[in-house]
Amino acid sequence: MKQYRYFSLLCAAILTGITGCSQLSGISSDNPALPKQMLARQVLVTLPDSLKPKWSSIRQELANQHKISVTGEFPLPSIGVDCLVYKVPDQLPMDQVIARLRSDKRVGLVQENQVFEGIQSGKSDIFAAISYAAKLTHVESAHRITTGKGIKIAVVDTGVEKEHPDLKGQIGQTANFVEGGDRSFARDKHGTAVTGVIAARANDGIGIYGIAPEADISVLKACWYQSQDDAKAQCSSWTLAKALDSAITSGARIINLSLAGPDDELMTKLLETAHARGINIVAATLEQQEQPGFPANLPETIPVISTGPDGNPPQPTWVAQFPSTVAAPGKEILTTVPKEGYDFVSGSSLAAGHVSGIIALLLELNPELTPDQIKELLHDNSKRGAANSLSVLDICAIIKILLKGEGC
Protein backbone atom coordinates (compact mmCIF):
# COMPACT_ATOMS: atom_id res chain seq x y z
CA MET A 1 0.00 0.00 0.00
CA LYS A 2 1.27 3.48 -0.82
CA GLN A 3 1.10 5.92 2.07
CA TYR A 4 -1.26 8.86 1.71
CA ARG A 5 -0.31 12.42 2.44
CA TYR A 6 -3.70 12.56 4.11
CA PHE A 7 -5.11 9.90 6.39
CA SER A 8 -6.27 6.53 5.08
CA LEU A 9 -8.80 4.06 6.41
CA LEU A 10 -7.19 0.64 6.01
CA CYS A 11 -10.30 -0.94 4.55
CA ALA A 12 -11.11 -4.60 4.04
CA ALA A 13 -11.41 -5.91 0.50
CA ILE A 14 -14.91 -5.90 -0.92
CA LEU A 15 -14.47 -4.52 -4.41
CA THR A 16 -12.28 -5.96 -7.14
CA GLY A 17 -9.17 -4.47 -8.63
CA ILE A 18 -8.18 -1.83 -6.08
CA THR A 19 -4.91 -3.05 -4.60
CA GLY A 20 -3.40 0.10 -3.19
CA CYS A 21 -3.82 3.82 -2.88
CA SER A 22 -2.46 6.95 -4.46
CA GLN A 23 -1.26 10.18 -2.93
CA LEU A 24 -4.10 12.61 -2.42
CA SER A 25 -4.29 16.37 -2.71
CA GLY A 26 -7.26 16.56 -0.32
CA ILE A 27 -10.64 18.16 -0.91
CA SER A 28 -9.95 21.30 -2.90
CA SER A 29 -13.27 23.10 -2.57
CA ASP A 30 -16.61 22.98 -0.80
CA ASN A 31 -18.97 20.30 -2.01
CA PRO A 32 -22.61 20.46 -0.87
CA ALA A 33 -22.78 16.67 -1.05
CA LEU A 34 -20.11 16.30 1.64
CA PRO A 35 -20.74 16.35 5.40
CA LYS A 36 -19.58 19.56 7.05
CA GLN A 37 -16.83 17.62 8.84
CA MET A 38 -15.22 16.77 5.49
CA LEU A 39 -15.12 20.24 3.88
CA ALA A 40 -11.91 21.92 2.84
CA ARG A 41 -9.99 24.78 4.52
CA GLN A 42 -11.10 24.15 8.09
CA VAL A 43 -8.87 24.53 11.13
CA LEU A 44 -9.33 23.05 14.60
CA VAL A 45 -8.52 25.24 17.61
CA THR A 46 -8.62 24.06 21.23
CA LEU A 47 -9.32 26.19 24.28
CA PRO A 48 -8.35 24.96 27.77
CA ASP A 49 -10.91 24.15 30.44
CA SER A 50 -9.46 26.92 32.63
CA LEU A 51 -10.98 29.45 30.20
CA LYS A 52 -14.40 27.78 30.10
CA PRO A 53 -16.35 30.89 31.22
CA LYS A 54 -14.81 32.78 28.27
CA TRP A 55 -15.14 30.10 25.60
CA SER A 56 -18.05 31.80 23.88
CA SER A 57 -16.45 35.25 23.75
CA ILE A 58 -13.05 33.90 22.67
CA ARG A 59 -14.69 31.93 19.87
CA GLN A 60 -16.13 35.09 18.32
CA GLU A 61 -13.06 37.22 19.06
CA LEU A 62 -10.84 34.77 17.15
CA ALA A 63 -13.26 34.74 14.24
CA ASN A 64 -13.34 38.54 14.04
CA GLN A 65 -9.61 39.00 14.56
CA HIS A 66 -8.54 36.52 11.88
CA LYS A 67 -11.46 37.04 9.45
CA ILE A 68 -12.51 33.40 9.68
CA SER A 69 -15.96 31.94 10.26
CA VAL A 70 -17.12 29.46 12.92
CA THR A 71 -18.35 26.22 11.34
CA GLY A 72 -18.44 23.95 14.37
CA GLU A 73 -17.68 23.48 18.05
CA PHE A 74 -17.46 20.42 20.26
CA PRO A 75 -16.04 19.72 23.73
CA LEU A 76 -13.52 16.93 24.29
CA PRO A 77 -13.99 16.14 28.00
CA SER A 78 -11.37 13.39 27.97
CA ILE A 79 -8.58 15.93 27.45
CA GLY A 80 -10.35 18.92 29.04
CA VAL A 81 -10.69 21.22 26.04
CA ASP A 82 -13.27 22.87 23.83
CA CYS A 83 -12.59 22.39 20.12
CA LEU A 84 -13.55 25.18 17.74
CA VAL A 85 -13.77 24.69 13.99
CA TYR A 86 -13.17 27.63 11.69
CA LYS A 87 -13.47 27.99 7.92
CA VAL A 88 -10.59 29.93 6.34
CA PRO A 89 -11.61 31.99 3.26
CA ASP A 90 -9.94 31.03 -0.01
CA GLN A 91 -8.08 34.34 -0.24
CA LEU A 92 -6.26 33.84 3.09
CA PRO A 93 -3.18 31.56 3.23
CA MET A 94 -3.88 28.63 5.56
CA ASP A 95 -0.35 28.51 6.99
CA GLN A 96 -0.43 32.19 7.93
CA VAL A 97 -3.81 31.91 9.64
CA ILE A 98 -2.64 28.84 11.59
CA ALA A 99 0.59 30.60 12.62
CA ARG A 100 -1.32 33.66 13.89
CA LEU A 101 -3.76 31.48 15.84
CA ARG A 102 -0.88 29.58 17.44
CA SER A 103 0.60 32.86 18.68
CA ASP A 104 -2.55 33.57 20.74
CA LYS A 105 -1.80 32.69 24.39
CA ARG A 106 -5.42 31.67 24.99
CA VAL A 107 -5.20 28.93 22.39
CA GLY A 108 -3.88 25.43 23.01
CA LEU A 109 -3.65 23.38 19.82
CA VAL A 110 -4.15 24.59 16.24
CA GLN A 111 -4.15 22.29 13.22
CA GLU A 112 -5.77 21.82 9.86
CA ASN A 113 -8.79 19.50 9.78
CA GLN A 114 -7.04 16.71 7.92
CA VAL A 115 -8.90 14.48 5.50
CA PHE A 116 -8.77 10.70 5.63
CA GLU A 117 -9.63 8.45 2.70
CA GLY A 118 -10.32 4.75 2.74
CA ILE A 119 -8.47 2.12 0.76
CA GLN A 120 -9.59 -1.32 -0.32
CA SER A 121 -7.62 -4.22 -1.72
CA GLY A 122 -8.84 -6.79 -4.22
CA LYS A 123 -11.26 -9.61 -3.54
CA SER A 124 -9.56 -12.80 -2.34
CA ASP A 125 -9.55 -16.19 -4.02
CA ILE A 126 -12.95 -17.81 -3.55
CA PHE A 127 -11.22 -21.11 -2.81
CA ALA A 128 -9.27 -19.72 0.15
CA ALA A 129 -9.45 -21.70 3.37
CA ILE A 130 -12.67 -20.78 5.15
CA SER A 131 -12.41 -19.35 8.68
CA TYR A 132 -8.79 -20.42 9.12
CA ALA A 133 -7.99 -17.55 11.49
CA ALA A 134 -9.47 -18.99 14.70
CA LYS A 135 -7.62 -22.25 14.15
CA LEU A 136 -4.32 -20.58 13.30
CA THR A 137 -4.38 -18.47 16.47
CA HIS A 138 -5.96 -21.29 18.57
CA VAL A 139 -8.87 -19.03 19.48
CA GLU A 140 -11.33 -21.90 19.07
CA SER A 141 -9.53 -23.70 21.91
CA ALA A 142 -9.31 -20.55 24.02
CA HIS A 143 -13.10 -20.13 23.86
CA ARG A 144 -13.41 -23.02 26.31
CA ILE A 145 -12.20 -20.66 29.05
CA THR A 146 -12.65 -17.10 27.75
CA THR A 147 -14.87 -15.32 25.24
CA GLY A 148 -14.08 -11.69 26.11
CA LYS A 149 -17.27 -11.42 28.14
CA GLY A 150 -18.01 -7.88 29.28
CA ILE A 151 -14.82 -6.33 27.89
CA LYS A 152 -15.68 -3.09 26.11
CA ILE A 153 -14.19 -2.64 22.64
CA ALA A 154 -14.68 0.61 20.73
CA VAL A 155 -14.51 0.16 16.95
CA VAL A 156 -13.75 3.60 15.48
CA ASP A 157 -14.60 3.08 11.83
CA THR A 158 -17.53 3.41 9.44
CA GLY A 159 -21.00 2.23 10.46
CA VAL A 160 -22.14 -1.37 10.77
CA GLU A 161 -25.14 -3.50 9.85
CA LYS A 162 -26.43 -4.11 13.38
CA GLU A 163 -29.21 -6.38 12.13
CA HIS A 164 -26.88 -8.73 10.27
CA PRO A 165 -27.79 -12.30 11.39
CA ASP A 166 -24.34 -12.79 12.92
CA LEU A 167 -24.22 -9.34 14.58
CA LYS A 168 -27.78 -8.83 15.82
CA GLY A 169 -27.66 -8.29 19.58
CA GLN A 170 -23.84 -8.22 19.60
CA ILE A 171 -23.41 -4.43 19.51
CA GLY A 172 -24.18 -2.53 22.67
CA GLN A 173 -23.69 1.03 21.48
CA THR A 174 -23.47 2.88 18.20
CA ALA A 175 -22.78 6.55 17.58
CA ASN A 176 -22.48 8.62 14.44
CA PHE A 177 -20.08 11.58 14.26
CA VAL A 178 -20.55 12.32 10.55
CA GLU A 179 -23.27 14.72 9.46
CA GLY A 180 -25.78 12.65 7.49
CA GLY A 181 -23.90 9.44 8.21
CA ASP A 182 -26.86 7.85 9.96
CA ARG A 183 -28.59 7.31 6.60
CA SER A 184 -25.94 4.87 5.41
CA PHE A 185 -24.88 3.49 8.80
CA ALA A 186 -26.28 -0.03 8.26
CA ARG A 187 -24.88 -0.27 4.71
CA ASP A 188 -21.26 0.53 5.55
CA LYS A 189 -18.87 -2.16 4.42
CA HIS A 190 -15.70 -1.74 6.42
CA GLY A 191 -17.16 -1.39 9.91
CA THR A 192 -19.39 -4.40 9.27
CA ALA A 193 -16.40 -6.53 8.21
CA VAL A 194 -14.17 -5.54 11.14
CA THR A 195 -16.97 -5.93 13.71
CA GLY A 196 -17.71 -9.41 12.38
CA VAL A 197 -14.09 -10.45 12.90
CA ILE A 198 -14.22 -9.27 16.50
CA ALA A 199 -17.70 -10.15 17.66
CA ALA A 200 -19.80 -12.30 15.32
CA ARG A 201 -22.13 -14.46 17.43
CA ALA A 202 -20.83 -17.92 18.33
CA ASN A 203 -22.72 -21.23 18.49
CA ASP A 204 -25.80 -19.99 16.64
CA GLY A 205 -25.59 -22.45 13.78
CA ILE A 206 -25.02 -19.79 11.12
CA GLY A 207 -22.16 -17.95 9.48
CA ILE A 208 -18.96 -17.38 11.43
CA TYR A 209 -17.95 -16.59 15.00
CA GLY A 210 -15.85 -13.71 16.25
CA ILE A 211 -12.63 -13.73 18.24
CA ALA A 212 -14.40 -12.25 21.29
CA PRO A 213 -18.08 -13.08 20.74
CA GLU A 214 -19.20 -11.96 24.21
CA ALA A 215 -17.33 -8.66 24.29
CA ASP A 216 -19.25 -5.41 24.75
CA ILE A 217 -18.94 -3.73 21.35
CA SER A 218 -19.45 -0.07 20.53
CA VAL A 219 -19.23 1.09 16.91
CA LEU A 220 -18.34 4.76 16.59
CA LYS A 221 -18.78 6.02 13.05
CA ALA A 222 -16.12 8.57 12.10
CA CYS A 223 -15.71 7.57 8.44
CA TRP A 224 -18.14 7.94 5.56
CA TYR A 225 -18.61 6.77 1.96
CA GLN A 226 -19.62 9.39 -0.60
CA SER A 227 -21.69 6.62 -2.22
CA GLN A 228 -22.29 2.98 -1.45
CA ASP A 229 -20.50 2.09 -4.68
CA ASP A 230 -17.40 3.95 -3.54
CA ALA A 231 -14.44 1.80 -2.55
CA LYS A 232 -13.04 4.47 -0.27
CA ALA A 233 -14.34 5.98 2.96
CA GLN A 234 -13.44 9.47 4.14
CA CYS A 235 -12.83 10.62 7.70
CA SER A 236 -11.41 13.78 9.25
CA SER A 237 -9.55 14.94 12.33
CA TRP A 238 -12.88 16.43 13.49
CA THR A 239 -14.89 13.20 13.31
CA LEU A 240 -12.08 11.02 14.65
CA ALA A 241 -11.43 13.31 17.61
CA LYS A 242 -15.09 13.12 18.65
CA ALA A 243 -15.14 9.34 18.26
CA LEU A 244 -11.97 8.87 20.29
CA ASP A 245 -13.26 11.17 23.03
CA SER A 246 -16.46 9.10 23.16
CA ALA A 247 -14.49 5.86 23.41
CA ILE A 248 -12.38 7.22 26.27
CA THR A 249 -15.23 8.70 28.29
CA SER A 250 -17.48 5.64 27.85
CA GLY A 251 -15.00 3.30 29.55
CA ALA A 252 -13.64 1.30 26.61
CA ARG A 253 -10.78 -1.08 27.44
CA ILE A 254 -9.75 -1.44 23.79
CA ILE A 255 -9.88 1.00 20.85
CA ASN A 256 -9.66 -0.58 17.40
CA LEU A 257 -8.29 1.75 14.69
CA SER A 258 -7.75 1.06 10.98
CA LEU A 259 -6.18 4.40 10.11
CA ALA A 260 -2.87 5.42 8.61
CA GLY A 261 -1.46 8.75 7.60
CA PRO A 262 0.60 11.76 8.76
CA ASP A 263 1.00 12.70 12.40
CA ASP A 264 -2.03 14.43 13.90
CA GLU A 265 -1.52 16.46 17.07
CA LEU A 266 -5.09 16.36 18.35
CA MET A 267 -5.43 12.61 17.82
CA THR A 268 -2.05 12.10 19.50
CA LYS A 269 -3.22 13.90 22.63
CA LEU A 270 -6.38 11.80 22.74
CA LEU A 271 -4.52 8.52 22.25
CA GLU A 272 -1.92 9.43 24.89
CA THR A 273 -4.80 10.12 27.27
CA ALA A 274 -6.46 6.82 26.38
CA HIS A 275 -3.28 4.87 27.08
CA ALA A 276 -2.74 6.69 30.39
CA ARG A 277 -6.26 5.67 31.41
CA GLY A 278 -5.58 1.98 30.78
CA ILE A 279 -7.03 1.66 27.29
CA ASN A 280 -5.33 -0.64 24.79
CA ILE A 281 -4.96 0.95 21.35
CA VAL A 282 -4.77 -1.44 18.41
CA ALA A 283 -3.71 0.10 15.10
CA ALA A 284 -3.52 -1.35 11.60
CA THR A 285 -0.34 -0.56 9.68
CA LEU A 286 0.95 0.21 6.22
CA GLU A 287 2.84 -3.04 6.34
CA GLN A 288 4.48 -2.78 2.92
CA GLN A 289 5.82 0.74 3.42
CA GLU A 290 9.00 2.11 5.00
CA GLN A 291 7.03 3.22 8.08
CA PRO A 292 3.86 1.83 9.69
CA GLY A 293 1.96 5.12 9.40
CA PHE A 294 0.17 7.13 12.04
CA PRO A 295 -1.17 6.27 14.59
CA ALA A 296 0.61 2.89 14.53
CA ASN A 297 3.91 4.73 14.95
CA LEU A 298 2.92 6.07 18.39
CA PRO A 299 4.53 4.28 21.36
CA GLU A 300 1.08 3.95 22.95
CA THR A 301 -0.27 1.71 20.19
CA ILE A 302 0.00 -1.94 19.25
CA PRO A 303 0.87 -1.95 15.51
CA VAL A 304 -0.55 -4.90 13.59
CA ILE A 305 0.44 -6.55 10.31
CA SER A 306 -1.49 -9.27 8.51
CA THR A 307 -0.69 -12.86 7.69
CA GLY A 308 -2.40 -15.47 5.55
CA PRO A 309 -3.33 -19.12 6.12
CA ASP A 310 0.34 -20.16 6.07
CA GLY A 311 0.98 -18.14 9.24
CA ASN A 312 4.07 -16.47 7.76
CA PRO A 313 3.66 -12.70 8.04
CA PRO A 314 5.76 -10.22 6.09
CA GLN A 315 8.75 -8.81 7.93
CA PRO A 316 8.62 -5.04 7.29
CA THR A 317 11.92 -3.20 7.54
CA TRP A 318 10.46 -0.93 10.22
CA VAL A 319 9.56 -3.71 12.68
CA ALA A 320 12.79 -3.33 14.67
CA GLN A 321 11.91 0.33 15.30
CA PHE A 322 8.47 -0.62 16.62
CA PRO A 323 8.96 -3.60 18.96
CA SER A 324 5.29 -3.73 19.96
CA THR A 325 4.32 -4.86 16.44
CA VAL A 326 2.37 -8.12 16.26
CA ALA A 327 1.00 -10.26 13.44
CA ALA A 328 -2.48 -11.76 13.11
CA PRO A 329 -4.67 -13.20 10.34
CA GLY A 330 -5.69 -10.57 7.84
CA LYS A 331 -5.67 -12.17 4.41
CA GLU A 332 -8.59 -13.99 2.85
CA ILE A 333 -10.71 -13.63 5.97
CA LEU A 334 -14.33 -14.73 5.78
CA THR A 335 -16.42 -12.13 7.61
CA THR A 336 -19.71 -10.26 7.66
CA VAL A 337 -20.69 -7.73 4.98
CA PRO A 338 -23.85 -5.65 4.51
CA LYS A 339 -27.13 -7.05 3.23
CA GLU A 340 -26.82 -10.04 5.59
CA GLY A 341 -23.89 -11.39 3.59
CA TYR A 342 -20.42 -12.83 4.00
CA ASP A 343 -17.31 -12.35 1.91
CA PHE A 344 -13.56 -12.96 1.84
CA VAL A 345 -11.76 -9.74 2.73
CA SER A 346 -8.14 -8.76 3.30
CA GLY A 347 -6.07 -6.07 4.97
CA SER A 348 -4.21 -5.15 8.12
CA SER A 349 -7.50 -3.76 9.45
CA LEU A 350 -8.79 -7.35 9.64
CA ALA A 351 -5.61 -8.33 11.49
CA ALA A 352 -6.18 -5.45 13.92
CA GLY A 353 -9.67 -6.78 14.59
CA HIS A 354 -8.22 -10.17 15.50
CA VAL A 355 -5.75 -8.56 17.92
CA SER A 356 -8.47 -6.48 19.58
CA GLY A 357 -10.45 -9.67 20.11
CA ILE A 358 -7.44 -11.52 21.52
CA ILE A 359 -6.80 -8.70 24.01
CA ALA A 360 -10.43 -8.95 25.15
CA LEU A 361 -9.93 -12.67 25.81
CA LEU A 362 -6.91 -11.87 28.01
CA LEU A 363 -8.71 -9.08 29.88
CA GLU A 364 -11.60 -11.36 30.77
CA LEU A 365 -9.09 -13.71 32.42
CA ASN A 366 -7.31 -10.85 34.18
CA PRO A 367 -9.11 -7.46 34.08
CA GLU A 368 -6.22 -5.83 35.97
CA LEU A 369 -3.78 -6.14 33.08
CA THR A 370 -2.39 -2.77 31.99
CA PRO A 371 -1.75 -1.83 28.35
CA ASP A 372 1.99 -2.21 28.90
CA GLN A 373 1.52 -5.68 30.40
CA ILE A 374 -0.66 -6.64 27.42
CA LYS A 375 2.05 -5.39 25.07
CA GLU A 376 4.65 -7.47 26.88
CA LEU A 377 2.55 -10.63 26.67
CA LEU A 378 1.89 -10.13 22.96
CA HIS A 379 5.49 -9.19 22.25
CA ASP A 380 6.92 -12.26 24.00
CA ASN A 381 4.60 -14.50 22.01
CA SER A 382 5.06 -12.83 18.63
CA LYS A 383 8.87 -12.86 18.46
CA ARG A 384 9.81 -16.43 17.62
CA GLY A 385 11.64 -18.45 15.03
CA ALA A 386 14.79 -17.68 13.08
CA ALA A 387 16.50 -14.41 14.04
CA ASN A 388 13.65 -13.59 16.41
CA SER A 389 11.35 -12.95 13.46
CA LEU A 390 7.73 -11.89 13.73
CA SER A 391 5.25 -14.77 14.06
CA VAL A 392 1.47 -14.98 14.20
CA LEU A 393 -0.04 -14.70 17.69
CA ASP A 394 -1.00 -17.89 19.53
CA ILE A 395 -3.60 -17.10 22.18
CA CYS A 396 -3.23 -20.40 23.99
CA ALA A 397 0.50 -19.89 24.42
CA ILE A 398 -0.18 -16.42 25.81
CA ILE A 399 -2.80 -17.76 28.21
CA LYS A 400 -0.32 -20.35 29.43
CA ILE A 401 2.05 -17.54 30.39
CA LEU A 402 -0.72 -15.47 31.93
CA LEU A 403 -2.10 -18.35 34.01
CA LYS A 404 1.37 -19.64 34.91
CA GLY A 405 1.23 -22.97 33.16
CA GLU A 406 -2.50 -23.49 32.68
CA GLY A 407 -3.32 -23.25 28.99
CA CYS A 408 -6.30 -23.89 26.75
Decide if 36-115 and 117-402 have a common fold: no
Query: What was the pLDDT predicted at 10?
Result: 57
CB 351 within 8 A of CB 378: no
For the chain, which residues make up each domain, given as ranges? 36-115, 117-402
Entry pTM: 0.90
How many C-beta atoms surround the C-beta of residue 102 within 10 A?
Answer: 13
CB 273 within 8 A of CB 371: no
Res. 115: pLDDT tops 60: yes
Could you report the per-residue pLDDT of 191-218, keeping only the tens digit for each? 999 999 999 999 888 889 999 999 999 9
> Buried b / exposed e across 324-349, counting CB within 10 Å, b at 16+?
bbbbbbbbbbbbbbbeeebbbbbbbb
Percent of the chain with pLDDT over 70: 86
Rounded Cα distance between 111 and 387, Å, is 42
C-alpha pair distances (Å), 24 with each of 68, 83, 393: 25, 26, 34
Could you report the per-residue pLDDT of 117-156, keeping only the tens digit for each? 554 444 443 334 578 999 999 999 999 999 999 999 999 9
| Domain 117-402, CATH number (from 3.30.1330.60, 3.40.50.300, 3.40.50.200, 3.90.1490.10) | 3.40.50.200
Query: What was the pLDDT predicted at 119?
Result: 47
Which bin fits 332, alpha (ψ -120 to 50), beta or left (φ > 0)?
Answer: left
36-115 sits in which CATH class? Answer: alpha beta
Res. 14: pLDDT tops 50: no
CB 108 within 8 A of CB 48: yes
Could you report the per-residue pLDDT of 280-308, keeping only the tens digit for each? 999 999 988 899 999 999 999 999 999 99
Q: For strands 259-260 and 7-10, give the pairing.
A: antiparallel
